[in-house]
Amino acid sequence: MSAELTHYIDGAHVKGGSGRFSDVMNPATGEVSGRTPLATKAELDDAVARAAEAQKGWGATNPQRRARVMMKFAQLINEHMDELAELVSKEHGKTLPDGRGDVQRGLEVVEVCMGAPHMLKGEYTNDGGPGIDLYSMRQPLGVVAGITPFNFPAMIPLWKMAPALVAGNAMILKPSERCPSTSLRLAELLKEAGLPDGVLQVVNGDKEVVDAILDNETVQAVGFVGSTPIAQYIYGRAANNGKRAQCFGGAKNHMIVMPDADMDKAADALVGAGFGAAGERCMAISVAVPVGEETAEALRERLVPRIEKLRVGPYTSEDEVDYGPVITAAAKERIEKLIGSGVDAGADLVVDGRGFKLQGYEDGFFVGPSYFDHVTPEMEIYKEEIFGPVLSQVRAGSYEEALKITMDNPYGNGCAIFTADGDTARDFAHRVNVGMVGINFPIPVPLSYHTFGGWKKSAFGDLNQYGPDAFRFYTKTKTVTSRWFSGIKEGGEFNFKAMD
Ligand code: NAD
């Protein structure tokens, strides 16, 4: 029997009223584990109206008190770490250590939000002119929305909700309909941490509810994370309706390997970054770009045994596993079809992960690891974000060619270089047109007090996620210029006596 999931409105679980549902799967077994209710426009509008009421008091609460809710929330997340990780793994399929990592990287943003009063302070200039002072304040936007993808069921909702809420906003969170349970549990923990009812509303749904969010006049800002076509669509519609929008999209992350790199370390890094979480990470490295034929051969020689050794299995496995299933049967089918297209296009499929079956889990959505060599930028496997356990190797003749390949790619989320040469590393970091860069570091997700965001087709809108940018995104600045005539002497000179 699959469980009927709920929305979370005004601090309580609420059954969906539309009669429409989307299945939540256990990707390891292929069984339906739950049904996500898909909200209607009317349900969304009602949740927004209630959030707007709740926001009035919350927005007027002093920032330190709001930060205290974040402190308690962080404590509760820590206490419930294993339970949250299991919820993530059950619906997503990732291994338990990876599930814990998902929660941990979200928790780190909550921890930064404990210091929000400092980030929300305004600026002050005294004596900007005779008797003139200026000050600015950061005010909450009101009701904002977060729309999140399936691949980080804890981390990305936390990246959205923590800065938005601590800045004094109310939030409508629309998690992925494939993995909604972690968001629902986080909403319960926030209530326990002291968040007033209605300030966080979890409204589940699909395109219908997303469009309702984009068209609702009360919603002031939309923070989206997902695939590029949807990011572009949401950005356009939100901006057209006068909303602030930041929409993060897909990726095709390259890693350049220079001839002077430590080849074993580069190969280890590529295997972890390419196949971890079954390649379902927006910061996964999906393209290796070795410079020179010798480097390409040396890398290939090291990659093959490492890739063939990868252990694939369910999160419940007693044996150690490196990665789990992909999210749906359709995702598995699409990935295997793309691998076939690579073979048809003439790429060299060195390790073939198609047709992978796991005893006892024959109906799970497992895909074995695949590794292509001699991929070229015209091939579909290069152009498409595969979002699966597939690594492509594109050989480059020189550093300049490797840099050009990386820069010509339409995506610009992350990239990396492995080298022993500081000049090359510095040149790469300065010239590459990608938002997050790793030097001898394969997945350069910045720490929670920096910011996260891609360039080119990987992000639409302005400002990054978390860190100082998040506080800017979720507040509007008001600047006051004031003049007090007692401070001005006739003739415009400053009257110091008036200060006595
Ligand atoms: P997705 O675009 O299918 O879905 C994301 C969200 O949009 C979900 O909440 C979904 O319900 C909603 N949605 C889907 N179709 C819609 C439509 N037609 N209209 C309106 N809303 C719609 O993405 P996904 O498959 O859940 O996640 C994987 C994608 O997310 C990958 O492309 C990955 O690279 C990307 N991603 C990007 C980042 C980043 O920070 N750049 C981080 C994580 C994931």
Residue 494, pLDDT score: 55
Do 226 and 281 belong to one domain?
no
**Angle between helix 181-192 and 63-79 (nearest 10):** 120
Residue 443, pLDDT score: 87
**Angle CA(335)–CA(339)–CA(343) in degrees, nearest 5?**
165
Residue 172 pairs in a beta bridge with: 145, 201
Residue 497, pLDDT score: 56
Please state the atom number of ligand 1 nearest to the C-alpha of residue 387: 31
pLDDT tens, position by position, 263-301: 999 999 999 999 999 999 999 999 999 999 999 999 999
pLDDT tens, position by position, 158-192: 999 999 999 999 999 999 999 999 999 999 999 99
The range of the structural domain enclosing residue 306 comes to 253-439
Residue 499, pLDDT score: 53
Do 362 and 468 belong to one domain?
no
Among the listed residues 293, 305, 282, 306, the one whose alpha carbon sits nearest the alpha carbon of residue 259: 293
Residue 440, pLDDT score: 98
- Decide if 499 is inside a domain: no
Task: Kindly state the helix (H) or strand (E) to which residue 90 belongs, with its residue range.
Answer: helix 81-92
Q: Coil, strand, or helix at residue 58?
A: helix
- Asked if residue 411 has its Cβ within 6 Å of ligand 1, the reply is no
For residue 141, the domain's CATH number is: 3.40.605.10
Do 148 and 170 belong to one domain?
yes
Residue 251 pairs in a beta bridge with: none
Phi, psi dihedral angles at 289 (to 5 degrees): -125, 85
- Decide if 148 is inside a domain: yes
Do 271 and 189 belong to one domain?
no
- Asked if residue 495 has its Cβ within 6 Å of ligand 1, the reply is no
- Asked if residue 160 has its Cβ within 6 Å of ligand 1, the reply is no
Do 267 and 220 belong to one domain?
no
Do 357 and 468 belong to one domain?
no
* Token pair listed for 482: 């004031």
Give residue 450 CA to ligand 1 midpoint distance, Å.
23
Q: β-pairing, 7-9 with 12-14?
A: antiparallel
State what percent of residues in the chain have pLDDT above 70.
97
Do 243 and 271 belong to one domain?
no
pLDDT tens, position by position, 20-58: 999 999 999 999 999 999 999 999 999 999 999 999 999
Do 418 and 474 belong to one domain?
no
Q: β-pairing, 459-461 with 244-248?
A: antiparallel
Do 276 and 245 belong to one domain?
no
**Mean pLDDT, the chain, whole residue set:** 96
Q: Coil, strand, or helix at residue 270?
A: helix
- Decide if 491 is inside a domain: no
**Cβ atoms 484, 466 nearer than 8 A:** no
Do 95 and 40 belong to one domain?
yes
Please state the atom number of ligand 1 nearest to the C-alpha of residue 327: 25
Low-confidence stretches of the chain (pLDDT < 70) are: 1, 487-500
- Decide if 497 is inside a domain: no
